[in-house]
Amino acid sequence: MLRLIIGIAAGYVLGAKAGRVRYEQISKTTRAITESPVTRKLVQVGRQKLSDKLSTQPKLEPMEPIDEHTTILVPHDQLRG
């Protein structure tokens, strides 16, 4: 019975130490990924694409400029081909 208790205690202590180290590794990797400029850019692009797909407003396309400061925009589905 004493051997069983010692074995369980040793397993618990060793498992707890290994678990904490592994937790720190996962936490560090997660922070590195989420704080990466590449990841942030991918998230931003993904959000914009999703927003564009879910938007109920028609996309506006530029037509011929009236002058150098004024451009007329019309919905994409109303453009003359």
CA–CA separation, 13 vs 31, rounded Å?
27
Digits of tens for pLDDT over the chain (81 positions)? 777 788 788 777 777 777 777 778 878 888 898 889 998 999 999 998 898 888 777 666 656 667 777 766 666 666 565
Q: What is the pTM of this model?
A: 0.43
pLDDT of residue 38: 92
CA–CA separation, 46 vs 44, rounded Å?
5
Total residue count of the chain as it appears in this document: 81
pLDDT of residue 37: 92
